[in-house]
Amino acid sequence: MIGDLGVTDATALADLVARREVSPSELLDAALAAVEVRNPAINAVVLMQEGVARQAIADGLPPGPFRGVPFLIKDLGIEAKNFPSHNGSRLFANTVYPGDSSIFQRIKATGVVTFGRTTSPEGGIGAATEAAVYGGPTRNPWNLEHTSGGSSGGAGAAVAAGIVAFAHGSDGGGSVRIPASSCGLFGFKPTRARLPDGPYAGEGWAGMAIDGFLSRSVRDTAVMLDACEGADLGAPYVAPPLVRSHSDAIARPPRRLRVAICDTTLTGEPIHPEVAEAVRAAGRLLEGLGHTVEPARPKADVAMMMRAWTDIVGVGTALSIRSKLGDRAPRSNEVEGVGRGAWAYAQTLHPTRYLEAVGEIHAFGRQMAGFFDTGPDILLTATLAEPPAPVGRFSHATEDYLGYRVGPEGIFAYSPFCAVFNASGQPAASLPLGWSQSGLPIGIHLAAAFGQDELLISLCAEVERAAPWAAKRAPMDG
List residues bridging with 39 in a β-sheet. none
Rounded Cα distance, 416 and 36, in Å: 36
428-435 and 441-448 beta bridge pairing: antiparallel
Phi and psi torsions of 403, nearest 5°: -60, -40
- First-to-last alpha carbon distance for the chain, in angstroms, is 9
Of 85, 151, 152, 415, catalytic = 151
- Annotation marks residue 175 as catalytic: yes
CB 426 within 8 Å of CB 193: no
Q: Report how far residue 446's alpha carbon sits from residue 123's, in angstroms, rounded to the nearest whole number.
A: 26
DSSP-derived 3-state class of residue 288: helix
CA gap 181, 157 in Å, rounded:
11
Q: Is 299 a catalytic residue?
A: no
Assess contact for 148 and 159: CB atoms under 8 A.
no
Confirm if 109 and 223 have CB atoms less than 8 A apart. Answer: no
74 is catalytic: yes
How many other CB atoms are there within 10 angstroms of residue 364's CB atom?
23
- 308: Cβ–Cβ under 8 A, 6 or more apart, which residues? 357, 358, 360, 361, 364, 423
Length of the chain: 478
Strand 258-261 versus strand 292-295 pairing type: parallel
Question: Which residues, at least 6 apart from 349, have a Cβ–Cβ distance to it below 8 Å?
Answer: 311, 314, 315
Catalytic residue chosen out of the listed positions 85, 148, 175, 181: 175
Single-letter code of the amino acid located at 252: R
Give catalytic residue positions: 74, 151, 175
